[in-house]
Amino acid sequence: MTQALFIVAPASGQGKTTITAGLAWLYRQQGNRVRIFKTGPDFIDPMIHEVSTGHPVYQLDMWMGGQAHVRSLLAEAAQTADIILIEGVMGLFDGTPSSADLAEALGVPVLTVIDASSMAQTFGALAHGLATYRPSLPLFGILANRVASDLHADLIATSVREDTPLKGIIRRNADAALPERHLGLVQASELSDLTHRITQMADQLAQTTLVDTTPLPQVSFKQTQPLVETPRLLADKTIAISKDKAFSFLYQANMDTLKALGAKIVYFSPLANEALPQCDAVYLTGGYPELYLDTLANAQQTANSLREHHLQGKPILAECGGMLALLNQLTDKAGKIGKLWGLLEGEAVMQNRLVALGMQAVNFPEGELRGHTFHHSSLRMQLEPLTQGVNPHGKGVSEKVYRVGKLTASYIHLYFPSNAKATAALFV
């Protein structure tokens, strides 16, 4: 049995990432071995949590990876962790499957974080509704966040019914808040004071009954199905992966899959204008190329080595931001145009609102792979697509996938554990 808690909220932006990171830091300082997992296909929150725990953070998604895969990740962590924290995504009941679905399937009680900054006694009604909407969902309690004053705290506390455990009241604290941008929180690598922000939240949480007097629930994490051994289809292959502030969207599970397939992984930084290291294939990850247009336009050593790699007929997989960098040009929100690397005949323009969001299943010639898409740019591509993604929930999001020789590019962030054999085929 392992102590575990599922941190959720009624909506995005309630502060659950800050609360989760603060809790992990606090428990860790008490001598516990803490692991955090993130619900859904999120890249940015896990970067924050890696700082708070000192461990890699894996995504839990029952559609992309399957329930057996999710359970295996948790079961492995439970072998060494004293405490496992799972951060939900969006609102508690949002999505299919939702954070509530996952919490119930795993039997992990939920702590619901509610931003109380724009309400008073209505807090109690919201807390009661979330606690009772699905009676089968295990509830641990409610945490009031961003409370303004002693009077506000009293109004919140007296509004909550006795059958809805209020585990703490967190006062508004700008020093603990995490800044945001268009794809979510600002990346951990860009926050020089991240540790200070996390410790500020940990100090506040230390004063609540959540940490002071209440033991966390004990949960049994067991592997319910035997895992299929991954064939070493990439043995003796070296894959170069882009990794810096502009190209940072990378699942730990994807790297694990490549290693299980037998690949050796090396990294390079386009922002530092590094040439490709000696490699057999390239994985251009997503991120924020639009924030570094001048630097990337001038990264000719990187661009030339990628062109040479492509001309030699070696594989390249480019996802979202990685694909944008391979276009002829990219225009940011201010209208600034960056002339980029030109391996793909097309251009993209950043928009002021979200363009596409949703899960995607892609039938490649190599097999089906699952993933998701989330971007704020529109694309004009002169190429005919190889195939298109399909949203499993019947939504209109259907991202095109392009292929030129051994170069495969799309907005879709693929989740390699969904099909290891098809993944291997993209890199040979």
Name all contacts of 153-158 with Cβ < 8 Å and 24+ positions apart.
155/120, 155/121, 155/123, 156/116, 156/120, 156/123, 156/124, 158/121, 158/124
SS3 276: coil
CA nearest to 317, candidates 342, 289, 284: 284
Helix pair angle (194-205, 16-29), 10° resolution: 80
266, β-bridge pairs: 240
Catalytic residue among 86, 320, 349, 426: 320
The three-point CA angle 425-39-71 to 5° equals: 70
Examine the residue annotation and report whether 320 is marked as an active-site residue of this protein.
Answer: yes
The whole-angstrom separation of Cα 57 and Cα 252 is: 7
Give me 81's structure tokens.
Answer: 């962790």
Q: What is the b/e burial string over 174-193, where b = at least 16 CB atoms within 10 angstroms of the residue's CB?
A: eebebeeeebbbbbbeebee
The whole-angstrom separation of Cα 362 and Cα 100 is: 27
CA nearest to 113, candidates 152, 74, 156: 156
The CB density around residue 391, as the number of other CB atoms within 10 Å, is: 18
Q: Give 328's contacts (C-beta < 8 A, 6+ positions apart).
A: 339, 340, 342, 344, 345, 346, 347
The three-point CA angle 27-248-8 to 5° equals: 40
85, β-bridge pairs: 5, 36
CA nearest to 324, candidates 363, 350, 362: 350
Which residues have a catalytic role annotated? Answer: 320
